[in-house]
Amino acid sequence: MSNASSPARLSSRDRGIQTWALLVAAYRELNARKLFWLSIVLSGLVVLSIGALGLDEDGITIFAWTLESPFFNSTVVAPETFYKLLFSNLGVQFWLGLGATILALVSTAGIIPDLVTAGTIDMMVSKPLGRTRLFLTKYATGLLFTALQVTVFTVACFLVIGIRGGAWEFGLLIAIPLVVLFYSYLYCVCALVGLLTRSTVASLLLTMIFWFLVFGLQSAEQLVSVGRTASRLELDAISQDLEAERSHPDGADAPEVERLEEELAAQRSDDDTWQLVYAPISWLSAALPKTGETLSLLERSMDDVAAMPGQWEEQRAERRADRRSARGEDARPRPDDGAGPGGEIFGSSRVGGREIENKVAEERAARSKLYVIGTSLLFEAFILAIACWRFRRRDF
């Protein structure tokens, strides 16, 4: 029995003991969850798939088989770039960003509801342990799940790319914090809902809905951004045509000038509408976490992978020019050459889809990493602040 007259004080050592105990318990909890190990096994299969694919001079190889391709082989794409592309697209965007994230949400959605269940929480909060620290440590437990998964997967991919691609790309490891960050945006919502409802199912479903809404909003923002940019470029192009017509050495063609002025007025009206639609979407999007953009930061961090779409487009443009020359047509690029989905919708005879896409990509790239991560973390901090406030004040 301790001396009753001595005041009890919590030292930093006590806090260290408590935090370590919570983390060890978290590991044991994860270890006890079958889904944790299922995720690890599935991650292993994805790594195996990546490792099974290869690139040689004839085309793509799968184990000992070769799928011959004159457009996709080691003379077009370096094997190390190919593997990084696979890792970035198949591994991170598809597996970690979707499959493993759903599994992680299913596995960890119950952590906070389990914590606040009567009978468990009583014992926890009756210990000399701050409620905020308890909640945040449990929250970190959920992130630990993803961190372990991503670390295992990324390191395995790093080894595969090193051994098979011959490039020891340490930059790939940036995927670990990026994916954990991405997951934390969703998991903070999951934790808050779990705390408020004490229901694993509710927290899982509402988080999925939130994720879907964020994805929808980001897609809408991207689409509206393409339309707005196309409108602006069209406006500039009409203005230039009008200016050219007015300053024509042979004198302005009055009906043409009038037509262009009408077109300019109509385009200005369109442009105003685009601005009106874009503004609220962009504000809302700025306030919400940038899930897709955070994962895309991995591609942005790998120069050769980021440059791949451009390189492919250049190669395609060369092939189109060759074909036109062979047919005896004008080999110069046309405005609709290489237009992506947005470009096809919003392109015009004056502004090419490629030009719109380039402009949109330029604007997107102008968003700094600090903006993407910073605004997302602000959202996360806001949600966690609400959760901590509620957890501190709640009666159990």
Partner 1 sequence: MTTVYTTSEVAPSAELAVDLRDLYKTYAGEVHALRGVDLAVERGGVFGLLGPNGAGKSTLVKAMLTVIAPTRVAGSVLGAPVGDRATLKRIGYLPEHHRFPQYLSGRQVIEFFGALAGVPRRERKQRTDELLEVVGMSAWAGRKLGTYSKGMQQRVGLAAALVNDPDLVVLDEPTDGVDPVGRREIRDVLARLRAEGRTVLLNSHLLSEVEMVCTRVAIIVQGRVVRRGTVEELTRESARYEVLLRAPPPAWCFDGAENGGIVGARVEPGSGPMLNSVDPRGDLQRLILPQAGESVMQSIIDRLRREGMTVIAVTPVRESLEDLFIREVQDPTTGQAHKPGAGGVP
Could you list the residues that contact partner 1 (CB under 8 A)? Answer: 1-2, 4-5, 7-11, 13-15, 17-18, 20-22, 24-25, 28-29, 31-32, 117-130, 393, 395-396
What's the CA gap between 128 and 23, in Å, rounded?
Answer: 17
Q: How far is the CB of 115 from partner 1 (least distance, A)?
A: 10
The least distance separating partner 1 from the CB of residue 213, rounded to whole angstroms, comes to: 31
- Looking at the Cβ atoms of 34 and 332, the one nearer to partner 1 is 34
Pseudo-torsion of CA 81, 86, 88, 93, nearest 10°?
160
Minimum CB–partner distance for residue 107 and partner 1 (Å) = 13
Of 75 and 117, the one with the shorter C-beta distance to partner 1 is 117
Residue 125 CB burial class (10 angstroms; 0-12, 13-18, ≥19): middle
251: left (phi over 0), alpha (psi -120 to 50) or beta: left
Question: Cα–Cα distance between 258 and 242 in angstroms, integer?
Answer: 9
Q: To the nearest whole angstrom, how small is the minimum distance from the Cβ of residue 5 to partner 1?
A: 8
- Report how far apart, in Å, the C-alpha atoms of 304 and of each of 88, 168, 265, 309 are: 12, 14, 43, 10
Taking a C-beta distance cutoff of 8 angstroms, is the pair 161, 167 a contact? Answer: yes
CB of 25 to partner 1, least distance (A): 6
> Is 106 or 125 the residue whose CB approaches partner 1 more closely?
125
Nearer to partner 1 by Cβ, of 38 and 45: the residue is 38
- Shorter beta-carbon distance to partner 1: residue 123 or 326: 123
DSSP state of 7: P
Q: Which is nearer to partner 1, 6 or 247 (CB)?
A: 6
Residue 165 is classified by DSSP as: I
109 φ, ψ to 5°? -60, -25
Residue 118 beta carbon to partner 1: minimum distance, rounded to whole angstroms = 7
